[in-house]
Structure 1
Amino acid sequence: MPQSDEERLVALAARCERDDPRFTRALGAGRPVRPREYRRGRAWWTVAVAVAVLVTGAAVADGLLVTSGLILAGIGAQLFDPHRTRPRRCPRPPH
């Protein structure tokens, strides 16, 4: 069944509101912010902490700190991906 343009726009607005309410509110107020996919503040903080832990671990020759720094660097790099998806719940098996 073909949808009208109005129904598609309403569905798009509802999906946008559900996915990123902060962006939708700001856009409605006339002061748009970056969509969630392009906000990278947490990623930069994670990478900065990872570098600090990695350098500290190398300076004091502590393998646990070096390993922690490398793991945090990997997490920070993953946060830069704008197309990452949210974890989805596994469907329940049929009874």
Structure 2
Amino acid sequence: MPLSDDRRLTEIESRLHREDPGFVRAFADGRPRRPREYRYRRAWLLLAVALGALATGVFLAHGLLIAAGLVFAGVAGELFDPHRRERPARCPPSGS
């Protein structure tokens, strides 16, 4: 490989090691694991809590609990997007 390709590969390796050292360690040991952006443990937990709050709100006919369950379900749905950090931040619409 030309020198520039080696340098680019080294830069990619160092950036990956900085971002997710557990993934790099597991990959080097021969037992690969999912990269950080594809681990959804917190999202599943939040979704379970949201659905529990929603079901409790429907059962008790409590509007605030229903609304909280829906909001938490929306947040959990956003956490399932692996590329959410890559998207640019939304700018608020310009005023009148």
Whether TM-score is above 0.5 comes out as yes
Matches within 5 A, 1:35-74: 35-74=35-74
Matches within 5 A, 1:72-87: 72-85=72-85
Aligned partners of 1:21, 1:50: CA distance in 2, in Å?
A: 31
What amino acid is the match of 2:23? F
TM-score between both structures, scaled by the size of structure 1: 0.82
Where do 5+ consecutive residues of structure 2 fail to align?
87-96
What is the RMSD of the two structures over their aligned residues, measured on CA atoms?
A: 1.6
TM-score between both structures, scaled by the size of structure 2: 0.82
Aligned partners of 1:35, 1:73: CA distance in 2, in Å?
A: 24
Q: CA deviation at 1:43?
A: 1.1
Where do 5+ consecutive residues of structure 1 fail to align?
87-95
Q: CA deviation at 1:85?
A: 0.4
Q: Which runs of 4 or more aligned residues in structure 1 lie more than 4 Å from their structure 2 counterparts after TM superposition?
A: none
Aligned partners of 1:54, 1:32: CA distance in 2, in Å?
A: 37
